[in-house]
Chain A
Amino acid sequence: MKANENTSLKQHMGMKAKTRISNTVIYIILVIMSIIWLFPFVSIVLQSFRGGPVKGMTNEIIPSIWSLENYVALAKTDFFRWYLNTLIMALVVSVLQTVIVLCMSYTLSRFRFKMRKGLMRFMLILGMFPGMLTMIILYRVLKDLGLTQANAVPGLILVYVASSGMGYYVSKGFFDTIPKSLDEAARIDGATRAQVLTKIILPLAKPIVIYTILTSFMAPWGDFVFARYISFGASKGMNVAVGLFNWLSKDQINSSYTMFCAGGVIVAIPVTIIFMCLQKYYVEGVTGGAVKG
């Protein structure tokens, strides 16, 4: 009996030591990975506070002169114009796109109509083509409408919102998990379809609503290709990504690199705040699904 206990104890100790070693190895790998991953971000923040006459790239990681002059200098440029453009686009798009996506998802989840499956398949295939393919024709159309260059903001909103119905997959999948009998009970209780959606389905699908708002806010906030193309060099119509990128061009990088870093930090602030507040829901929205009836 005693001997048995001893061996099992030894085995136990052996296991413990093994776990400790493997944990140590895992943590070392994770630490190295996070240093590599975080380095660009940290360095941008540090560079944004670098003062002194040299405005281009240097070899120093930690600035020798700390100052806020880069942030002050931003005010003298078009930066806040771009910032405002981006904010307007992101806000308008997130509202419109969320409404469209949620209505679309609810329709496809709850209504049965002819060609429903066909429509879903069609959109799935359409979604497989890269959006870039439409760039030339889109530019042409928007130019005819007068919505390019300085007027790029409404034009871009149109572009971002136009295809939003196709982003129904995730929320439709979530709606499908909500029992249909809830809809039926509500309809018998006197609710219209719209009331069913707003009073029953959406409160139950809160994570997915937030996920939809976030993703539709992020798309215009970080877009570069379309924004650059539609604004076509007109500073008035640029978003932050396009505007800031110009400061990295060959003739400007030596005079504006630190300002670029300061702009980058300001751009990251609202997104970081939103994510921190809504992180809980975001994770639920992506991974969760079950609704208890």
Chain B
Amino acid sequence: MANVKLTNVVKVYDGNVVAVHDFNLDIKDKEFVVFVGPSGCGKSTTLRMIAGLEEISGGTVEIDGEVVNDLQPKDRDIAMVFQNYALYPHMSVYDNIAFSLRLKKMPEDEVYERVTRAADILGITEYLMRKPRALSGGQRQRVAIGRAMVRDSKVFLMDEPLSNLDAKLRNQMRAEIILLRQKLNTTFVYVTHDQTEAMTLGDRIVIMKDGYIQQVGTPTEVFDMPKNLFVAEFIGAPKMNIMETRLFRENGKWFVSPFGVKVPVEGEKGEALTKERVGEQDILLGIRPEHITLSFQGGAGLIPCSLEVNEMMGSELHLHVTTEDGSRLIVRVPTLGLSNEERKALRQGAKLFLGFESKALHFFSKETENNLLVKE
């Protein structure tokens, strides 16, 4: 129940390897913030600096208005869940959860009450007397969460808590974390490399790469308005299609010409380009696979291509197509929107035509890879 403020935080290892550069972030009270990025981007290091497990090389970390740079982890009033659970193997589940409370010299009655309440919420009451090794991965993770829960600490830190679980269990636990968050109503900082987790859990997402923050925003913001090419490709699966093309104006209207096909940029996006005084230039054009419209007949502004691979995902198809110049794109099509004939026609080598809707287009500078429409 506190805000966390990171100001100019820097982490340098062994005097020369910089893991985190000038990290600034204000996490509000009761906010759920997710750090996401590829491995080695500094997200875990940042979390561990908040926890006090890593020394802070520069800048300040404040919890609830107090600078905690020099405080031991035990004095920061935080709870943390680790990727590998880090349960104490020699203690029963009950003792694991009660460990922190007993260290605080809490009376046994209250310990009992808190542990059983947490176990109840997490559905692990029947395992309380077992040792961690007699539990499955999902149960162990619940115990780890329970251990963090009973403490009623100011901040709840989670370091890739679902990475060791199988896909099905991960989905289930993800939903449970959302429920847990509603019950606990405290500040959460969550680290993951999985963009789905980031999108579904976070109030705000911090996307990191090579120790730098790439973008901070709500899931909708980072999805709709990625600040640069990295964010655009990182968020969303399958990833955004990127193609080199030219952005130009004709008679006051904006156009792009992917694969030699002149596609008009109309509506909001066109107006925005004008408003932001974007100049004609070579750009990287981005469009998400689910935003490409598919048709079997050619027409103005449609890009001809041929189907290479048709991946049936159940509710949707992932079509890998090749354009005339050999570039590969991915198109996501919901199966429900297709007639049986159309589904049959989607064979390898089928001729298809792709439509790019203006509002789904993203324009990135070829030089800086920044989104032309997102300003600092």
Q: Do they bind each other?
A: yes
Contact residues of A with B, CB < 8 Å?
A: 179, 181-182, 184-192, 195, 199-200, 203-204, 291-293
Please, which residue of chain B has its CB at the minimum distance from the CB of A204?
B90
Q: A191-B99, A204-B89, A293-B84 are in contact. List 10 more A-B contacts (CB 8 A).
A: A182-B86, A182-B88, A184-B51, A184-B86, A188-B52, A188-B80, A189-B99, A189-B103, A199-B99, A200-B88
Which of A186, A191, A291 is within 8 Å of B89, CB to CB? A291
Chain B 95-120, CB within 8 Å of chain A: the 1/0 string?
00001100110000000000000000
Q: Please name all residues of chain B whose beta carbon is closer than 8 Å to the beta carbon of A293 when the two chains form the complex.
A: 84-87, 89
Distance, CA A197 to CA B74, complexed state (A):
15
Which of A185, A192, A204 is within 8 Å of B82, CB to CB? A185
10 contacts between A and B (CB under 8 A): A182-B86, A185-B88, A188-B52, A188-B73, A189-B103, A191-B74, A191-B103, A292-B89, A292-B133, A293-B84
**B312 contacts partner chain A, Cβ-Cβ < 8 Å:** no
**B18 contacts partner chain A, Cβ-Cβ < 8 Å:** no
Which of B52, B80, B85, B90 is within 8 Å of A203, CB to CB? B90
Q: Please name all residues of chain A whose beta carbon is closer than 8 Å to the beta carbon of B100 when the two chains form the complex.
A: 189-190
Q: Which parts of B327-357 form the interface with A (CB within 8 Å)?
A: none
Distance, CA A43 to CA B80, complexed state (A):
63
**B240 contacts partner chain A, Cβ-Cβ < 8 Å:** no
A-side interface mostly: helix
Q: Please name all residues of chain A whose beta carbon is closer than 8 Å to the beta carbon of B79 when the two chains form the complex.
A: 188
Q: Please name all residues of chain B whose beta carbon is closer than 8 Å to the beta carbon of A184 when the two chains form the complex.
A: 51, 53, 73, 80, 82, 86
Q: Please name all residues of chain A whose beta carbon is closer than 8 Å to the beta carbon of B201 when the two chains form the complex.
A: none
Distance, CA A142 to CA B98, complexed state (A):
51
A179-B84, A200-B88, A293-B84 given; A188·B78 CB < 8 A: yes
Distance, CA A187 to CA B88, complexed state (A):
12
Distance, CA A191 to CA B101, complexed state (A):
11
Chain B 59-103, CB within 8 Å of chain A: the 1/0 string?
000000000000011100011101011111110000000011001
Q: Please name all residues of chain B whose beta carbon is closer than 8 Å to the beta carbon of A190 when the two chains form the complex.
A: 74, 100, 103-104
Minimum CB–CB distance from B49 to chain A (whole Å) comes to: 13
Chain B 210-252, CB within 8 Å of chain A: the 1/0 string?
0000000000000000000000000000000000000000000
